[in-house]
Structure 1
């Protein structure tokens, strides 16, 4: 099985690249989507989250109140550590399940926002693809699509690995600064052909 780790800062265009790779035939394992699913109403992480943090981070429907948790994590480093201790093992188990379900011949793309920060993914994948953009571009994209305040976006960027560290961990970098969707697709297809061909050697 060929395993590709895909990462990039918030607002870099990583999710768009993931969709383009799926269009080329990759099987996507989205760790962010897994994290959201286990913290939804009835999600397997919710009992432990409520036990650790109390009802202040629980939304009326029983799901994780992400705004409340984000504010808590940004102001309390210990809260971030406790939350990760709950989520990461559950995310890891579901990630492995989805990858195994893809089959032995699939090219699996692991979409991992914190791939570089985790320190362990480099040994779990065959290639690392980083989607890169300037921080100002990240800021404008996230504000435009999500309506976040600039301070909120900058706080997320500050908690992610520096661009230099992500690029240093990469086998390939797509600089998604001023590319049109068509141009981005051309870059992804070229890389896919190169890496997919390597799986047959």
Structure 2
């Protein structure tokens, strides 16, 4: 069973590698989504520009017509054209804002990816450092335990020997005085 177990550092390394793969896949997916959003925003901006141009052309045409025949109907058309131009401008501004947000999102994604890579590298380095420190420490520990066991064993018999010598000496002394 012990041979089948992986050491903690290897497990951590394996987990880090799996996380790196997930981060990379997520980054690629998010970058693709951001690119799609930017492309969509560009398309919207192009459509808005085309619509703005068409509305401006229509407005010019109506203004020329209005100069010739100023009547209520032409004035209503003029008002509608002005509001259409305003709406087209707003649409264009919205599309440009979407493009800017898409670019900002891409910058943030790149920064997040760089940070994730740096953290993964730091974790790998820490695991390697731990591995280096753990192996020498494992070799030193049994040597210290063996030395600790020998020292008390030597001290205990020495004390017993001293105690035995003192005890018989006391017994002999009274025997000599009695005899």
Q: TM over 0.5: same fold? A: no
| TM-score normalised by the chain length of structure 1 | 0.19
| TM-score normalised by the chain length of structure 2 | 0.21
Larger radius of gyration: 2
Bigger strand fraction: 1
Bigger helix fraction: 2
